[in-house]
Amino acid sequence: NAGVTQTPKFRVLKTGQSMTLLCAQDMNHEYMYWYRQDPGMGLRLIHYSVGEGTTAKGEVPDGYNVSRLKKQNFLLGLESAAPSQTSVYFCATRILSRTEAFFGQGTRLTVV
């Protein structure tokens, strides 16, 4: 039982490159969230999903896209990376009937 697994753990991108971050969960949770964490800014919600095939915008969605084609996976895409997207990205999941969210270990992304 791995819980919430984020891939990759570290990545360096050049400005303009694209990439996809993968969040995989084995807990059968309905809700999945993508956050970015920046110094002094806390955890800001990028996009989230309340179930397979559904996604919604969070607080800072611009420059990101997401997909939830399978219940266990939530993908975060950067089509054209910018230095402002340098951050630590966290995925979280939650079951519908309970309140606790479970976080992955984070992905540290640097855009140069």
Partner 1 sequence: GENVEQHPSTLSVQEGDSAVIKCTYSDSASNYFPWYKQELGKGPQLIIDIRSNVGEKKDQRIAVTLNKTAKHFSLHITETQPEDSAVYFCAATGFMNRDDKIIFGKGTRLHILP
In our burial notation (b when 16+ CB lie closer than 10 A, e otherwise), range 44-81 reads: ebbbbbeeeeebeebebbeebebebeeeeebbbebeeb
User: Smaller CB distance to partner 1: residue 28 or 100?
Assistant: 100
Q: What is the footprint of partner 1 within residues 16-35 (CB under 8 A)?
A: 31, 33, 35
**Total residues at interface with partner 1 (CB under 8 A):** 25
User: By CB under 8 A, is residue 92 in contact with partner 1?
Assistant: yes
Asked if 103 is part of the footprint of partner 1 (rule: CB under 8 A), the reply reads yes
Q: Which listed residue (21, 34, 48, 85) binds partner 1 by CB under 8 A?
A: 48
